[in-house]
Amino acid sequence: MSSNKVIVITGASSGIGAALAEQLGAQDYQLVLAARREPQLRQVAEPFGENALAVVCDVCHRSDVDQLRDAALQRFGQVDVWVNNAGRGIYRPVLELTDSDVDEMLAVNLKSALYGMQTIVPYFQQRGLGHLINISSFLGRIPFASNRSIYSASKAALNSLTANLRMDLARAYPDIHVSLVMPGSVATGFAAGALGAPPGAVPMPGAQTASEAAAAIAALIEHPVAEIYTNSANTPELVQRYFADPAAFEASNRR
């Protein structure tokens, strides 16, 4: 049950963001959906009529993110949940990374989420409540796909910022929740759209559907916790194996 919550979702024109919008819209949440691609974004928002606002937004620009917050408040009068979901992948091992590769991945996967945190959390602090959700990846925890090196590194940095923000807020703002979501492989166009993607790039084995990942995030909105893995069938076990013995894990997963 939505209780008329207003939820902002970035990267909402496709993939997990679009699937999350579809599920939350069906539960009568009020949605503010943001992405760069206007036709696709409006197609996601259209079924929900007045309960959804589509905002064309490049989250790599702080001013766009501030305007997204303002548009949400102007339309619905409040924001209850903010989901930093926008992201982009890359296929590039460490020794082949260029400056532009690093800059692009940090801008899309880390700085955009930082802008979201810095624009919405002060508003949550004024209200005394709210829920920030950062969409990361299990690759931010383990070197399972070394050819996605700087993507994984950007998500590891996001994991750290999220945890530190949660610690900063915990004592003075117990009703502001800060959650980290770590999907495993998800069967979307994300892999094919990654920088340097080889022809016919597909998700890694054992991929979830976008709807399955979105369902885990929707449940998190109803019952906030610090961290979740959306694919509970394998990703927590992989992470536990890695931290128990990194050398053994790396030896068994070399390609």
3-state SS, residue 94: helix
d(CA 73, CA 145): 40
Local structure of residue 203 (DSSP, 8 states): P
Nearest to 119 by CA among 27, 40, 55: 55
Instruction: Tell me how far the alpha carbon of residue 116 is from its chain's centroid.
Output: 11
Could you confirm whether 151 is annotated as catalytic?
Answer: yes
DSSP run (H or E) holding 237: helix 235-244
d(CA 127, CA 131): 11
Residues 210 and 187: beta-carbon distance below 8 Å: yes
3-state SS, residue 21: helix
Question: Which of the residues 115, 151, 229, 242 is marked catalytic?
Answer: 151
Catalytic residue positions, numbered: 151
